Structure 1
Amino acid sequence: MSNVFFYEPFYDFDRFFDEAFFGRQNEGGRPQQRRVTDGGDGAVRPFKPRMDLHENTEENLVTASFEFPGVKKEDVQIDVHNGRLIVSAETKESTEHDEAGYAVRERRYGKYSRALQLPQGVKVNTSRHYIWLATHSLLQENEIKANMDNGVLTVTFPKSTPELAPKRITVQTLSKRMARHWKEIAAEKKQQRDAIIPKEWLLTNLPPPEILNVIDFPNKSDLLAERDIEITNSEVGPLLDKLAKGTWTAVEVTTAFSKRAIIAHQLVNCLTEVFIDRALARAAELDDHLKKTGKVVGPLHGLPISLKDQISIKGLESTMGYVSWIGQYAERNSVLVDILEAAGAVLYVKTNIPQTLMWPETFNHIFGRTSNPYNRSLTSGGSSGGEGALIGVGSDIGGSIRIPAAFNGLYGLRPSYGRIPYAGCVNSLEGLASILSVLGPLCRNIDGIKSFMKAVIDQEPWLKDPMAVRKPWSEDEYRLVGHGQGQNLCFAILWDDGVTKPHPPIIRALGETQQALLAAGHRVIDWTPLKHEEIYRTGGKIWTAGAAEDFRVVAATSGEPVIGTMEEASEATDTTSNDAPVFRPMPGGLSAYELWQEQKRRRGLREEYLEHWNATKDLTGTGRPVDAIISPCAPFVAPPHGKNSNASYTMVWNVLDYTALVVPVGFVNPTQDGKLAVEEFYSKQDKANYDLYDPETFKDAPISIQVVGRTLEEEAVIRLGEIVDQALKTQNK
């Protein structure tokens, strides 16, 4: 039988470019070549003929067919040398005729050339030889046969032995790694992580599981000395100042933060990669530099920073919660890592994430679940859930910085696309170019947010990442030059997005923020949500269009199941369905055309929202549109594990690409935050959210709000956040 084992899917593209740049065919089918010189030699570029290659396994023959339209057989030459078959032809034609009383002479030139590597086993002598076609009859030269008929050249050559013909190969054994069950591989990786933790830092007096609030345990632990506690409880500004003055060394600061990270890990399971020895070596270099020069390396000199697992560090793994990615070591740093180290930061741990990243909680088959230190029966959020339990850098495509920040009582900034470089990080949904993931900081105090952003932006990341926006740090924007110099500001409160009604603690926090801002002399109006449900669902369709296939392709390598629920189960499996949350993959995904329509819809929604915001100029009384929106971060505070099924209050700002900063407000108090009677609901999901709330279940959970600005307003949003934060602190004195 005859099997095609070679074909050219890009032949038409080749022909298009050849004809576009090197000549077109005239009406007679002959190539009308244009002379293109290379280095002044005047050589004519050859036209590439179409080719098909076939194998006849029964007769042990290989046949190649070439199309030479309008070419004579005597103009074709075949060259076989070193296992390559080269077919070429050159045509020359000259015609004369009279036209309007003038003698017209036309000359046409054409060159064809095509080469291919012959399959293994073809019987060809090692010496160079040629075959010329002089007649229609079949010619033979060293057992290679060629025939030319109606512009088609057929070249046939036998295999030297049948044994060398292509064979079907059966894979009889798998590699040692692939033969192992995914659970065994995952367990081994987890053991490797645990083995790196210094044994003297493992605690024997950990609180029992029934003790839910462990936020103060590190301060009471025997592992941390009084100086360690002072260091790790410091705000970023004073900490950097003491490092710069040499009051505290980078080694002792790194040691203190490393100890606290290991304690946190033993309490809530937040780490994936631990490289403290490497960090201490880096810290020692910084101390030596400061001692010798009297100068800091950069604005973050000696500051320990943890990183979300997906941020690549050379020589370390970024599993992103996939068993399939265990053993894949980064060959280079991500751009942000290079920038942070150039600024003097010390990187010491990487933190836990959910498998695929596309969850607002944190659980995977390798490292397990990360809990909330304020109440371990509640989630730490996701996908930067490990960072929520520490201080460092996360990523955000639908709320993955802001949700963990809000659930853990931290400040967290979601910048606009491209403000912080993303190049070199691993990710899900690679190739999605409309709603992009961004990197940003999470911190216990707001001055750390500014220190991080300014340090990174001042290093001109747009020169290192082609997707980074060329926008230097602006002190004018930070001073709110475009917002009345920060005086007589007008904030608008989004009480309810029309998708899911917030729980009582969230409503209380919004009310307290309103009163604090009014007391500080600012104006506060209500924000009318514009098509938030449509924005939310459009965003969900866009970044889950091909997500199911993306997740399953990666997971299939190891055989682990794709996690389809964050419920506390021994082995969660894929439960993709039409009833799944908006951020989960849709059954069947979207076609390219359907995706384009959703992206078109998103563009229209962004235009409408811009007009909606601008129109508030008539409502503020300041002569400007609203300076910032105050919004919930979620309809709830940190819920029990597996119950975070709504991201509408964060995703909307991703779709619009608005800058958003999380500011902590307080904690759930069952006495103040009793359940309210509600009779009407937007949907069954809204009703389920109402039923979820019980004051005692959420006791001690942090409550936070978002300060939302417009696209690329990071400097202004940070300053506006500081104003909101100060107003709240003043009110609570």
Structure 2
Amino acid sequence: MVLIKSHWKDAASRKFASVKAKIPVQWILDPSVIEKAKKQSNLTGPFIEGLLSPIDKEITTFDSIQLIAKIREKTLTAEQVTGAFCKRAAIAHQLNNCLHEIFFEEALDRARELDKHMEKTGCTSGPLHGLPISLKDQFHVKGVETTMGYVGWIGTYEGRKRTGKEMNTNSQMVDDLLSLGAILYCKTSLPQTLLVGETHNNIIGYTLNPVNQRLSCGGSSGGEAALQALRGSTLGVGTDIGGSVRIPAAFCGTFSIKPSVLRFSYKDVANSNPGQTMVPSAIGFMATALSSLKLIMESILSTEPWLRDPEVVPIPWRKEHELTVPHPKLCFAIIDTDNIVTPHPPVARGMKLVRKAIERAGHEVVSWEPPNHSIGTTIHGEILSSDGGANIHDQLKLSGEPIIPEKYDDIGNKRKPPMPILRYQDLALQRKAYRAAYATYWESTKHKTNTGRPVDAVIMPVAPHAAVLNMKYYYYGYTEIVNLLDYSSVCIPVTHADKTIDIFREDYRPLNPTDYKNWEAYDADQYDGAPVGVQIMGHTLQEERTLSIAQITYEALLNHASSKL
């Protein structure tokens, strides 16, 4: 069927309705519940649990490692686990608008097959046997559509028709997860263009923050974080080119890791401006527990993905790089502010909590004065906008849909001239020089630590705010600097905004116009209760060590909190 451009709203409405129609009738919520949910600030915990049966509630409180163990021990079946998470995801979507695609029936069929395999052989089919895993709507799954938030992609393969790949393609990541015994059951919401720190598109509208519905869930992997905050998933796969798995995790109070680009396969994953390869998007993972992040990375690397994707470096999971108990004394650098945009009071307090926790645990903290972050973030921003918005406008033209308001200032109504090739090549040299200077500085810190090693990790904010008010995301520097450097980074939750102690400072003097806009956007009442997360940055291709350090940091936080009770 030819899509009439003036009817993009009709196409979007039909798509939205078709997804909702895949929710089993017995799981459809009464309209009164939906209305009650709209008046709630926090949909997580008691609110959504009140809509579940006791067994479904119990199953969905377990994290990934626990679920796999219970299936292996035959305490639970894969069908029971999958059914519980499908039901909770269905309820989460009705409350929070966080899903793009639903394929519960296929997931339950696969669960039954895995249960038969277990019964017949006595063995699991792999390390992820029976575990439901959600996917950001960039990953292709056979039999399931991928719109990536574009109306013009409905009924196509990435906007193209009659390719033979429409609903007939698996991303390599999908094949690898299936080979490990995982069960795929839904794809989660994201913003039109991907390049936004909120989750909004013209097909499903907004996905809000289920912890505080006055705020955004973040982006671009926003639906993943929202679904996990509502416990409709314990583990999911996203992508990150400027903070897209770290921002939503921080905003929704969950965990995530952005690995270095070449560690995991991006083969056959849809993307925005896929020809831009100077600062490419990385596969990222999101979860309700740090242990789940290790589980999925170690499992995927056991399949040797580099044999099927030459872009992946042939590095298996290296247990020898993990820090185990008893672990050595560590030395951290802490960036409370990058002196470009100052974090709001809840984030500043969160950073102080982390510092106190790691110092109380006996670790060292030293000053950090790297090459100016404004240089790196400027390079990153210019690279991402180098095509003048051509790719995005091409996708919008397919249906005639408008650009979302959150991206309008960047893109406008028409293409801008693309960057001249010589300027682009110069940026490549600048990027290379900046990375080298940063690495040299990091190595030089061994002369000021008491460990005899360079700084083990850098802790800094994920964003200058705890979640964000709509249209108030002005600065991405804290996350995009990590992408430019291609370092690994883990996001962990720290605390929640509290209007009684996170007070707006009337005497604050902004550093620049962007800092002024960000500071003026702070509203203690609106942000009250919003999660605050931080990121732990490690070296390139050091996911094992960075994740271990994140675990040590998180345990220090938990111990520090319990000591004050």
Note whether the superposition's TM-score is higher than 0.5: yes
- Are 2:346 and 2:532, in contact at CA under 8 Å, matched by a contact in 1? yes
Matches of 2:561 and 2:410, distance apart in 1: 45
Q: What is the Cα deviation at residue 676 of structure 1?
A: 2.3
3-state SS of paired residue (1:441): strand
3-state SS of paired residue (1:601): helix
Q: What is the Cα deviation at residue 597 of structure 1?
A: 0.9
Matches within 5 A, 1:184-583: 184-204=10-30, 205-206=33-34, 207-217=36-46, 219-222=48-51, 224-328=52-156, 329-391=166-228, 392-479=236-323, 486-565=327-406, 574-576=408-410
Post-superposition Cα deviations, 1:115-141, rounded to whole Å, max 9, x if no partner, equal xxxxxxxxxxxxxxxxxxxxxxxxxxx
- Are 1:675 and 1:694, in contact at CA under 8 Å, matched by a contact in 2? yes
- Are 2:393 and 2:415, in contact at CA under 8 Å, matched by a contact in 1? no
- Are 2:347 and 2:464, in contact at CA under 8 Å, matched by a contact in 1? yes
- Are 2:140 and 2:174, in contact at CA under 8 Å, matched by a contact in 1? yes
Matches of 1:649 and 1:560, distance apart in 2: 31
1:587–1:680 Cα change, 3 Å: farther
Matches within 5 A, 1:148-167: none
1:603–1:179 Cα change, 3 Å: closer
3-state SS of paired residue (2:243): coil
Post-superposition Cα deviations, 1:542-574, rounded to whole Å, max 9, x if no partner, equal 0111151111112112111222426xxxxxxx4
Mapped pair 1:644 → 2:470? no
Q: What is the Cα deviation at residue 342 of structure 1?
A: 0.7
- Are 2:332 and 2:459, in contact at CA under 8 Å, matched by a contact in 1? yes
AA matched with 2:61: N
- Are 2:370 and 2:438, in contact at CA under 8 Å, matched by a contact in 1? no
Instruction: Structure 2 unaligned segments of length 5 or more: list them.
Output: 157-165, 229-235
Matches within 5 A, 1:71-150: none
Matches of 2:370 and 2:352, distance apart in 1: 18
Name 1:602's counterpart in structure 2. Answer: 431
Matches of 1:220 and 1:399, distance apart in 2: 30
- Are 2:390 and 2:416, in contact at CA under 8 Å, matched by a contact in 1? no
Name 1:634's counterpart in structure 2. Answer: 463
Instruction: Structure 1 unaligned segments of length 5 or more: list them.
Output: 1-174, 567-573
3-state SS of paired residue (1:697): helix
Q: Which has the higher contact order (CA 8 A, sep 6+)?
A: 2
Q: Whose helix fraction is larger, Structure 1's or Structure 2's?
A: 2
AA matched with 1:311: F
3-state SS of paired residue (1:479): coil
Q: What is the Cα deviation at residue 645 of structure 1?
A: 2.3
Q: What is the Cα deviation at residue 682 of structure 1?
A: 2.2
* Root mean square deviation of aligned Cα: 1.8
> So what's the TM-score if we normalise by structure 1?
0.72
- Are 1:219 and 1:229, in contact at CA under 8 Å, matched by a contact in 2? no
Matches of 1:494 and 1:558, distance apart in 2: 44
3-state SS of paired residue (1:393): strand
Matches of 1:179 and 1:699, distance apart in 2: 42
Name 1:182's counterpart in structure 2. Answer: 8
Matches of 1:635 and 1:428, distance apart in 2: 25
Q: Which moved more, 1:344-353 or 1:586-595?
A: 586-595
> So what's the TM-score if we normalise by structure 2?
0.93
AA matched with 1:727: A
Name 2:159's counterpart in structure 1. Answer: none
Name 1:61's counterpart in structure 2. Answer: none
1:585–1:576 Cα change, 3 Å: farther
3-state SS of paired residue (2:527): coil
Matches of 1:679 and 1:516, distance apart in 2: 27
3-state SS of paired residue (2:140): coil
Q: What is the Cα deviation at residue 534 of structure 1?
A: 1.1
3-state SS of paired residue (1:456): helix
1:542–1:176 Cα change, 3 Å: closer
- Are 2:357 and 2:557, in contact at CA under 8 Å, matched by a contact in 1? yes
Q: What is the Cα deviation at residue 490 of structure 1?
A: 0.4
Post-superposition Cα deviations, 1:647-696, rounded to whole Å, max 9, x if no partner, equal 11000000000000001001111112112244432210101111111211
Post-superposition Cα deviations, 1:55-89, rounded to whole Å, max 9, x if no partner, equal xxxxxxxxxxxxxxxxxxxxxxxxxxxxxxxxxxx
Q: What is the Cα deviation at residue 219 of structure 1?
A: 4.6
- Are 2:388 and 2:417, in contact at CA under 8 Å, matched by a contact in 1? no
Q: What is the Cα deviation at residue 348 of structure 1?
A: 0.2
Matches of 1:192 and 1:219, distance apart in 2: 24
1:706–1:576 Cα change, 3 Å: closer
Highest CA radius of gyration, 1 or 2?
1
AA matched with 1:633: V
AA matched with 2:323: R
1:537–1:591 Cα change, 3 Å: same
AA matched with 1:638: A
Matches of 1:188 and 1:210, distance apart in 2: 27
- Are 2:462 and 2:479, in contact at CA under 8 Å, matched by a contact in 1? yes
Q: What is the Cα deviation at residue 208 of structure 1?
A: 4.1
Matches of 1:394 and 1:195, distance apart in 2: 25
1:635–1:176 Cα change, 3 Å: closer
Matches of 1:263 and 1:218, distance apart in 2: 11
- Are 2:49 and 2:57, in contact at CA under 8 Å, matched by a contact in 1? no
3-state SS of paired residue (2:366): strand
Matches of 1:419 and 1:514, distance apart in 2: 30
- Are 2:5 and 2:399, in contact at CA under 8 Å, matched by a contact in 1? no
Post-superposition Cα deviations, 1:24-58, rounded to whole Å, max 9, x if no partner, equal xxxxxxxxxxxxxxxxxxxxxxxxxxxxxxxxxxx
- Are 1:488 and 1:522, in contact at CA under 8 Å, matched by a contact in 2? yes
Post-superposition Cα deviations, 1:167-195, rounded to whole Å, max 9, x if no partner, equal xxxxxxxx643366111111111111111
AA matched with 2:547: I
Name 2:160's counterpart in structure 1. Answer: none
Q: Whose strand fraction is larger, Structure 1's or Structure 2's?
A: 1
Q: What is the Cα deviation at residue 418 of structure 1?
A: 1.7
Q: What is the Cα deviation at residue 226 of structure 1?
A: 1.5
- The number of residues matched between the two structures is 543
3-state SS of paired residue (2:332): strand
1:726–1:504 Cα change, 3 Å: same
Q: What is the Cα deviation at residue 210 of structure 1?
A: 2.5
Post-superposition Cα deviations, 1:686-726, rounded to whole Å, max 9, x if no partner, equal 01111111211101100111011010010001100110010
Name 1:725's counterpart in structure 2. Answer: 554
Name 1:22's counterpart in structure 2. Answer: none
